[in-house]
Amino acid sequence: MKRRYALYPLLPFYSFGVWLRNRFFDWNFLKSESFPVPVISIGNICVGGSGKTPHTEFFIRMLKDNFNVAVLSRGYKRKSKGFILADENSSANLIGDEPFQIKNKFKDITVAVDANRRRGIKNILALKPKTEVILLDDAFQHRYVNPKISVLLCDYNNMFYNDMLLPVGNLREPASARFRANVVIVSKCPENIIPIDKRILIKRLNLFPYQKLFFTSFVYGSPVAVFGENPSPVLSQNILGKGYSILAVSGIANPKPFDDYLASHGADVTSIHYNDHHSFSKKDINYIIENFNSIRNTNKERSYIIVTEKDAARLVSMNIPSDIKERMYALPLRVNVNENEGDILREYIFNSIKK
């Protein structure tokens, strides 16, 4: 785990600032606002990817058939400001890559962006008065909203109790912030997590009895075309197999699981990594094409570009040659609750909403 020890002299100032802000909320000097519909906040206390967007999609799938669901995000790195209600013409530049991805997958739900979450919720309720549940993406630190359910995500491979506060480590808040959560989810777990490892995690987390703890894993689906119509499932799954060459392009916080999954199916994988939420430029596209052509020269008919869903949201609006578009696929990602505890989580969420 990376440490920035050169910045250690700044740690007391950051720590005091975080402590004081939280105390102001606890003492009601800063006000948390409640709303007439249940709000579910999904977030973490670490900088970096813990799977917030896949888990937001997980809750959308859980709720959308029984409730009118809205999702509110700040729209990180979007090239716009203020409140925007997404529609079929919204782009990743306008609303951000993750809200764009969600709206593209779930066209019938409300998706909006606003850095001011209270204003965003009020606008959603004014414009979409039939809304019954609002999901707040990446809002664990946004204490101006008092959620009905607060979901805290912890990365199995980067647990907060092994980390330190910014700027030395990657914690936005101290580990004690976990006690604000109603639901704690350890994400990115191995599919068959060893029982002794679970017991160690449970002991180290040291949660209160009222807090619900779940373990989730990521499950990749068959690649889907970024542009145009999707091929048959047989073809899309085969392109990961032995005898194929893959250029893996990712702009996410931790690309290792993505790369490892592609390599595990037997294909020859070459990777290009960018920073999380990277904005692709013409120079980036030319570099990707250059690398892909060098691969395609040696394996012409069995060469493909595989990107993450989040990167596909940004690439879909880029000017890319048609022959490259035909070879570009995205790898879908879904959340699976370990040990068949999905029904227990669903029951808890539904009961909390109905109260």
Which pLDDT belongs to residue 233? Answer: 60
Whether 5 shows a pLDDT value over 80: the answer reads yes
Query: Nearest 5 degrees, angle CA 275-CA 54-CA 90?
Result: 75
Instruction: Report how far residue 70's alpha carbon sits from residue 137's, in angstroms, rounded to the nearest whole number.
Output: 11
Give, in degrees to the nearest 5, the angle at Cα 76 between 321 and 280. Answer: 20
- Distance, in Å, from the CA atom of 41 to the CA atom of 50, rounded to the nearest integer, reads 14
Q: How far, in whole angstroms, is CA 204 from its chain's centroid?
A: 24
Closest of 342, 304, 340, 310 to residue 324, by C-alpha: 304
> Are 51 and 197 in a shared domain?
yes
Residues 205 and 279 in one domain: no
Q: Do 136 and 202 reside in the same domain of the chain? A: yes
Name the nearest CA neighbour of 258 among 294, 310, 193.
310
Are 234 and 290 found together in one domain?
Answer: yes
What is the pLDDT confidence band of residue 337, given thresholds at 50, 70 and 90?
A: very high
Mean predicted lDDT score pLDDT of the chain: 92
Q: What is the pLDDT of residues 9-54, one digit of tens each?
A: 999 999 999 999 999 999 999 999 999 999 999 999 988 778 899 9
Which structure tokens are listed for 147? 């959620």
Distance (Å, whole) CA 114 – CA 163: 30
pLDDT tens, residue by residue, 233-285? 656 668 888 999 999 999 988 888 899 899 898 999 999 999 988 989 999 99
- The amino acid sitting at 325 is K
Q: Which two tokens stand for residue 148?
A: 């009905």
Q: Which of 233, 188, 183, 214 is nearest to 334 (CA)?
A: 188
Secondary structure letter of residue 9 according to DSSP:
G
Are 46 and 148 within one domain? yes
Which CATH number is 36's domain given?
3.40.50
Helix extents (H) in 206-239: 233-238
- Domain membership flag for residue 56: yes
Is the pLDDT confidence value at 231 over 70? no
- Measured N-to-C along each axis, helices 97-105 and 52-63 cross at an angle, to the nearest 10 degrees, of 30
> String of b and e for 172-184 (b: at least 16 CB within 10 Å)?
bbebebbebbbbb
Residue 81 lies in a domain: no
Distance of alpha carbon 117 from alpha carbon 143, whole angstroms: 10
Domain identity same for 187 and 242? no
Half-sphere exposure of 33 (CA within 13 A, CB side): 11
According to the model, what pLDDT value does residue 234 have? 53
Q: For 195-230, what is each residue's pLDDT tens digit?
A: 899 999 999 999 999 999 999 999 998 899 998 776
297 and 169 co-located in one domain:
no
Would you state the pLDDT for residue 352?
Answer: 95
Is residue 99 situated within a structural domain?
A: no
Pairwise CA distance, residues 109 & 22, whole Å: 33
For β-strands 328-331 and 84-85, DSSP reports them as unpaired
- Residue-number span of the structural domain to which 317 is assigned: 222-331
Q: Quote the Cα angle for 158-161-165, to 5°.
A: 90
Instruction: Provide the domain count of the chain.
Output: 2
* Residues 256 and 215 placed together within one structural domain of the fold: no
> Does 20 share its domain with 168?
yes
Q: Are 292 and 327 in contact (CB under 8 A)?
A: yes
Higher pLDDT, 64 or 3: 64
251 C-beta neighbours (distance < 10 Å), count: 22
Q: In this structure, is the dihedral angle defined by the CA atoms of residues 107, 338, 224 and 155, taken in order, positive or negative?
A: positive
